[in-house]
């Protein structure tokens, strides 16, 4: 494929996903696939096994691909993992933690939201107390990178406590998996969820659940929804060697397979370093221009950063957004309620030179 035939994007997406992909990922979508054919099913199996290899070098893990956006995979996990009479504790500090609580409520699953506020790290002492005092709790869920603020939650410390109490541990690693090295075995996670259009740099259309095989086994007969039945989807894929129960997003899977090739070429640690370097260049440059970050550096992820909106009475996000878009950059509105903010993501096919160009564009607007 001559990549010169693939149109360039009109602007760079500095968002938490869908994000800017490479031309080679977009080019990978230019043919059709039969969902019953070996060519396609083998690709699905390769994608699954490569995701498992990214999740941990230890044996005993499997991967389930699920149609829909990332939330569908979170919902499939919550509604399939927690048994009747079980109870979920959610360590909540943002919109995505809230979403997990809401999913549990929709499915009439008992849920305890341990809220630490949008700017607060999860209180590990309180987690311990809650697990001591409420023996009904069977599962604990947390968001790794809370995309609402850009905060990174301490999943290793949380996992140690959850396992001390022998509970099942679920991580929404949607916006971090593939961009921050995570070993599920070291984190002691039973389920870890992400999607195609975040740090692996594919296009939107499906999510995936990485899980211990024994944790997936417990989901048998527990699902509260047919299409989101995690166990059934897993069984169908495993036994069918890459078959999906219902129509799968074939072109998106092919693009994802290409994105995994590109992640392997770059290297996971190198990708993490590129993102971290992008984020540092961005924050250092923005601070020089007089902007403040919402979070202290110690809590900040290398994925997306919230900046406090300028105090200038003439500032409006819409004008700022439109002016930057004209210069080739799309940023993201703020999502916290505690302060007026805007967000800039630095994941995807985004490099140091892009950060420098962005800072020049912002300087011209200031
Ligand atoms: C992107 C994201 C999701 C899923 O969002 P969708 O819009 O359903 O893809 C879930 N959790 C986090 C932390 C995210 O960043």
Q: Which of 195, 196, 335, 336 most suits a substitution to test ligand 1, by most atoms within 8 Å of the C-beta?
A: 195
Among 106, 28, 112, 47, residue whose Cα is nearest residue 72: 106
pLDDT tens, residue by residue, 217-235: 999 999 999 999 999 999 9
Question: Residue 85: what are its φ and ψ, rounded to 5°?
Answer: 85, -5
What pLDDT does residue 274 have?
Answer: 98
Atom of ligand 1 nearest to the CA of 173: 13
Average of per-residue pLDDT across 257-279: 98
Shared domain for 279 and 255, answered yes or no, is no
Among 91, 143, 137, 152, residue whose Cα is nearest residue 116: 91
Per-residue pLDDT band for 366 (boundaries 50, 70, 90) equals confident
Q: How far apart are CA 178 and CA 203, in angstroms?
A: 14
For residue 177, the CA-to-ligand 1 centroid distance in Å is 12
Q: What share of the chain is helix, strand, coil (3-state, %, to 5)?
A: 40, 20, 40
Residue with CA closest to ligand 1 atom 12? 174
* Domain annotation covers residue 7: no
Shared domain for 148 and 208, answered yes or no, is yes
pLDDT score of 1 more than 90: no
What pLDDT does residue 337 have?
Answer: 87
Domain of residue 138, CATH code: 3.40.640.10
Per-residue pLDDT band for 264 (boundaries 50, 70, 90) equals very high
**Mean per-residue pLDDT of the chain:** 97
Q: Which domain holds residue 354?
A: 268-365
Average of per-residue pLDDT across 86-104: 98
Q: Count structural domains, the chain.
A: 2
pLDDT tens, residue by residue, 159-186: 999 999 999 999 999 999 999 999 999 9
Domain of residue 299, CATH code: 3.90.1150.10
């Amino acid at each position: 494929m001559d990549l010169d035939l693939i149109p360039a994007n009109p602007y760079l997406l500095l968002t938490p996903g869908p994000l800017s992909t490479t031309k080679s990922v977009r080019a990978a979508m230019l043919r059709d696939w039969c969902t019953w054919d070996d060519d396609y099913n083998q690709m699905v199996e390769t994608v699954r096994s490569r995701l498992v290899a990214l999740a941990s070098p230890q044996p005993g893990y499997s991967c389930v691909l699920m149609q829909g956006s990332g939330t569908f995979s979170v919902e499939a996990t919550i509604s399939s993992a927690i048994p009747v009479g079980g109870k979920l504790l959610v360590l909540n500090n943002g919109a995505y933690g809230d979403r997990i609580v809401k999913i549990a409520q929709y499915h009439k699953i008992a849920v305890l939201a341990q809220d630490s506020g949008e700017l607060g790290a999860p209180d590990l002492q309180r987690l311990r107390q809650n697990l001591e005092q409420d023996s009904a709790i069977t599962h604990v869920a947390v968001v790794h990178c809370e995309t609402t603020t850009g905060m990174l939650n301490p999943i290793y410390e949380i996992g140690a406590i959850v396992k001390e109490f022998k509970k099942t541990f679920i991580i929404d690693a949607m916006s971090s998996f593939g961009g921050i090295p995570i070993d599920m075995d070291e984190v002691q996670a039973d389920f870890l969820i992400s999607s195609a259009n975040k740090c692996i740099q594919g296009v939107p259309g499906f999510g995936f659940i990485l899980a211990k095989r024994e944790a997936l086994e417990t989901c048998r007969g527990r699902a509260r929804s047919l299409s989101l039945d995690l166990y059934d989807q897993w069984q169908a894929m495993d036994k069918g060697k890459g078959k999906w129960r219902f129509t799968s997003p074939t072109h998106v899977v092919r693009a994802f397979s290409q994105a995994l090739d590109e992640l392997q070429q770059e290297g996971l640690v190198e990708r993490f370093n590129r993102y971290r370097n992008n984020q540092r260049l961005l924050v250092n440059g923005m601070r020089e221009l007089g902007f403040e970050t919402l979070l202290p550096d110690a809590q900040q992820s290398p994925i997306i950063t919230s900046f406090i909106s300028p105090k200038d009475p003439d500032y409006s996000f819409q004008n700022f957004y439109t002016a930057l878009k004209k210069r080739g950059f799309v940023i993201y509105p703020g999502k916290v309620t505690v302060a007026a903010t805007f967000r800039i993501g630095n994941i995807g096919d985004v490099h140091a030179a892009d950060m420098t160009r962005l800072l020049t564009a912002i300087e011209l607007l200031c």
